[in-house]
Structure formats: C-alpha cells, structure tokens
Structure 1
C-alpha cells in the first residue's frame, strides 16, 4: 500500500535519511518512561503540567503507534515526541502534537525536526487526517502548519492565537472546523479508513 505524502513531509526526509544520522527513531517503550519524564522535566520544568494542551493529555495515552523515542549510537534516550487523539471541534478526529523534547547535548543534530517529520509521516500512513499544536509558527511552518486551520477553533484554556497551528494530512481535513478542541474518548476510533 502506498500513501501520498504532503510535500512538506516528503522532501525533507528524502534529503536527510535517518539511516545516516547518529541516532535512531523508534517506538517508545515502557522502559523509556523514566528517561522520557526526566527529559521533559529538564526541557520544560514543572510548568509543563500547567499548559493548556496538558488538559487534552491528562489521564490519556498517546495515539497508537505515535509515541516515538530517539536514541544515540550508545543507546541513550535523547528525544521524545507524542501525538494524542483529539477532536478538532465537534466530532472531527485529529491529533495533538507534543510535547517534543530533545536532550540539550543533542540539539545540534536536527533531531527535533526529524522527530516531527517521522511522527507526521507515520500519522499519515496510519490514516490520520489532521494535526494541531501550540508552538512557534516560524519553526513549524516548514512542516506545513498554519494558523488558518485553527482560526475558528478554541483550546480548553488560554493560548496565544499566533501559536495555535494546524496541518492537514489529507486535503480538506480541517475545512470548516470550528468550536472547542476536546480530548477524544478512549474508545473513539481516530483514524478513518482510506479510500481504495
């Protein structure tokens, strides 16, 4: 089965294949939890639990197959990224990207961008259609995130509007999306079947 990939996702990966990088990206495991929590504490401190996006993650698990970890050549845990099932207003399935964190000594490797690309490509391959996040628009623009996709959406708490961004993994996935973003019920199917 093949998938059409968003141009913002395909080109950078083709230009910088992961196989040549001094790190490996793979599924997060239960054994990674202490290292992941320590990395997030170092990157964001205790204030990370006060962020509006945390309201959408509390008591939930990341979307299946969308919790990734990176390790260096020596096997050290050096980066994390997770995507979470949400509804982008009403019952429109989407994902929430974050947090993404990279160990301070590994930040010059371009690992944050590779983690984002890998997670978006995987999300697309799994049938997810849209991703939202709160982050710096100049950074996330390279992956195709734009403010226009969230113009009529609201998060369950305060956020700088200029930092609330969206990406369509499938054309039209966020067209007409409006209302409050909410956490998806645990039993809700989040990926829609692909057309044949």
Structure 2
C-alpha cells in the first residue's frame, strides 16, 4: 500500500465546503449553539491564521482562528480544531495547532483564547482564564475557557467582555 504524505497549509477558499462537512461530522448540528460558535457567527475567520491538513487530496483536519475583542483589546478565538476521526491520534491536531500559533505569533498577535479540553491544550501553553476576568457572551465551563499569551503579561492587563469584532 502506498503511503500518502500529510500536508498542512493555509486554508484556501476551495476548502470551505469540505471543512464544513468535517465540522458537521465531528460536532453535529449542536455546534452552532456553543458560546465559542456565537463569537464566530457571521464573522469571517482569518485565512492567514487558519490551516487545513490533507492526506493526498482528502481533507483530514482544520483549524480556524477568528479575530475578536478580549477585555478591551484585540485577541484571537481559536477553533474549531477538527480532525477526521479516521485520522485521529496521528499528530494532525497538534501540527495544526502549532501552525496556527506560530502564524499568530509571527503576525504580532498577543492573545489567543479558546474553549476546549484543558489537558489537551496545556501542551501548547494554554492556561485557564481566571473566573470572571474575561466574560464570554454565553455559558462555558470555566475550566475549559483557556488563554495563550503570545506577549508576556497581556492577560493580566485584560478584563471584561469577550466579543465579536463589529
């Protein structure tokens, strides 16, 4: 059997339909009710910070990053991070995360937020946001509301609402 190479590259407009199908399979219709989804609703993700992974021509993973306001300053909301279940456990999610984080760092962004599994995201440097410091526009488990500082001390200078850019 031939082994096809895994590629990771910036998301292209032509990836959108396959990514939407991947999100539908992974998260189902309830994905739109999640607080993190509400922040992204009607707002475009940033293509230079969003990545897709392929095995051959088959899309196997995606990560999207959306600009937001976080406690009075600019920030990024990472997610969803999605890997096709048939390709889980092969490091694709980690590679997508690293690509997005490095792109954000390279563009001078200071703060990335997400709602997700703290033990998984801790390996990338994400830490829980102190309860009440930043307030999402809907319910979220406080232990799953995480931040990654790309500029030291930026989180300590932020408090208040997390909102979509208008």
Q: 1:64 Cα shift?
A: 4.2
Question: Which residue of the partner structure matches residue 84 of structure 1?
Answer: 66
Q: Distance in 1 between matches of 2:118 and 2:164?
A: 23
Q: Aligned to 1:109, what secondary structure does the other structure show? A: coil
Q: Which one of the candidate residues 52, 61, 68 is aligned to 2:44? A: 61
| SS at 2:57 equivalent | coil
Any conservation in 1 of the 2:43–2:165 contact (CA below 8 Å)? no
Report the 3-state secondary structure (helix = DSSP H, G, I; strand = E; otherwise coil) of the residue aligned with 1:55: helix
Q: Distance in 1 between matches of 2:131 and 2:18?
A: 33
1:128 alignment partner, SS class:
coil
Q: 2: CA distance between counterparts of 1:118 and 1:184?
A: 23
> Is 2:104 the counterpart of 1:115?
no
Displacement after TM superposition at 1:148 (Å): 4.1
8 Å contact from structure 1 (residues 78, 103) kept in 2: yes
| CA RMSD in angstroms, aligned pairs only | 1.5
1:167-190 per-residue CA deviation (whole Å, 9 max, x = no partner) reads: 1011122123111101123xxxxx
Q: TM-score, normalised by structure 1?
A: 0.79
Q: Counterparts of 1:28-177 in structure 2 under 5 Å?
A: 28-72=11-55, 74-90=56-72, 92-148=73-129, 152-177=133-158
The alpha carbon displacement at 1:124 in A equals 0.3
Identify if the C-alpha distance between structure 1 residues 151 and 121 changes in structure 2 by more than 3 Å, giving closer, same or farther: farther
- Within 1, Cα distance between the matches of 2:132 and 2:101? 21
Aligned to 2:48, what secondary structure does the other structure show?
coil
**Contact 1:39–1:103, Cα closer than 8 Å, also in 2:** yes
Question: 1:97: Cα distance to partner?
Answer: 0.4
How far residue 65 of structure 1 moved from its aligned partner, in angstroms, is: 0.3
Q: What is residue 24 of structure 1 aligned with on the other side?
A: 7
Deviations 1:24-49 (A, max 9, x none): 11111111111101100000000001
TM-score, normalised with respect to structure 2: 0.93
Distance 1:62 1:23, change over 3 A: same
Contact 2:129–2:145, Cα closer than 8 Å, also in 1: no
Q: Which runs of 5+ in 1 are unaligned?
A: 1-20, 186-196
